[in-house]
Structure 1
Amino acid sequence: MILRPKKRIDYLVDITPLVDVVFLMLIFFMVSTTFNVSSSLKLDLPSSKATVQQKEIKQITVSIDAKGGFYIEDKLVADADLRKRILSLSKGDPNMRVVLRADAETHHKRVVFVLDTLRGLHMSKIGIATVAPAEGEN
């Protein structure tokens, strides 16, 4: 009796389809994810009960810290340069939206200064950023 060694059968697992599916899922999640842009400037915003739907719209963010310093897109701006910086970012478009983020401890005259500057540029689409009140807070 002659015993032949059994042929060894190599099973190959093709992982190419698995890699394709993983890449497709990665691309899907990257495209469908919305990124929340938050400012690195820490402000204590006043609270408001009103809610607003946020849309992806080109806008300029003007922030005022508690000491009265102006920031446009998180970059410190001198009082004298505020008008020029807003004008350069808006490219002279009076319909550009402006979001005013003022710390709750900011003096009122600093907010009025920004509003007067915007009025001088004929910009009327101005929003004031607030935060929702904490639970139980009125």
Structure 2
Amino acid sequence: MPKSVWEKLAGDEAEAIVFRRPLQEAVDFDITPMIDVTFLLLVFFLVTSAMDVGRAVELPPARFGKGMNPSQALVITVAYEGEESPPSIYLSDGKVGSPLPEAPDQQRSQILAAIRDSIAAGKPRVLLKAERKVKHKNIARILEIINETPGVSTYVAVFERD
């Protein structure tokens, strides 16, 4: 095999030529502005969002009827607690405070007292909010208690469709 010109000139001491790569500078990406924008967005969404997670109840959708202002009525909320346990009843808009005791007689007396106080405060309306999974017999029992008081308008809350 014939030798190349370089191999002839270098003789037996021929070595491969190694080229060094130029050192590259480390590229630093400044992420401080991106972090600032991220925190500003986080603060914006925290300030503008409504924190009603614990108060929400899942209402059935509306088919007919008209809306009313809950601030002009006594709101009674019936929350679903599972298939085996009775629903919890709250004398507030949502799951706020402690529920009424499970004894039906105590529930009846406390609901009637709350209705009397509401009428005395100039609110002759009762808005019943019940979650979708609450059985009808529980809602009917509460409606019977509400209807024992004369002069009270009863409303049942539903989810309004657009």
Q: Please indicate the TM-score interval, normalised by the length of the shorter structure.
A: 0.5 to 0.7
How far the C-alpha of 1:72 sits from its partner, in A, is: 0.8
Residue in 2 that maps onto 1:41: 55
Contact 2:80 2:134 in 1 (8 A): yes
CA–CA distance in structure 2, aligned partners of residues 66 and 60 of structure 1: 20
Distance change >3 Å, CA 39–CA 61, structure 1 → 2: farther
Which consecutive residues of structure 1, in runs of 5 or more, have no partner in the other structure?
A: 1-37
Residue in 2 that maps onto 1:50: 64
Contact 2:111 2:146 in 1 (8 A): no
Corresponding residue pairs, total: 97
TM-score normalized by the length of structure 1: 0.56
Residue in 2 that maps onto 1:62: 76
CA–CA distance in structure 2, aligned partners of residues 53 and 62 of structure 1: 16
Larger RCO: 1 or 2 (CA < 8 Å, sep 6+): 1
Determine whether 1:119 maps to 2:147. yes
RMSD over aligned Cα, in angstroms?
3.0
Flag as ranges the 4+ runs of structure 1 deviating above 4 A.
Answer: none
TM-superposition CA deviations, 1:11-60 (whole Å, max 9, x none):
xxxxxxxxxxxxxxxxxxxxxxxxxxx79522110001336244476210
TM-score normalized by the length of structure 2: 0.49
- The structure with the larger Rg is 2
Which consecutive residues of structure 2, in runs of 5 or more, have no partner in the other structure?
A: 1-51, 82-86
TM-superposition CA deviations, 1:74-122 (whole Å, max 9, x none):
34223412222332233287x7011110011111121111111111112
Task: Give the fraction of aligned pairs with identical amino acids, expressed as a percent.
Answer: 12
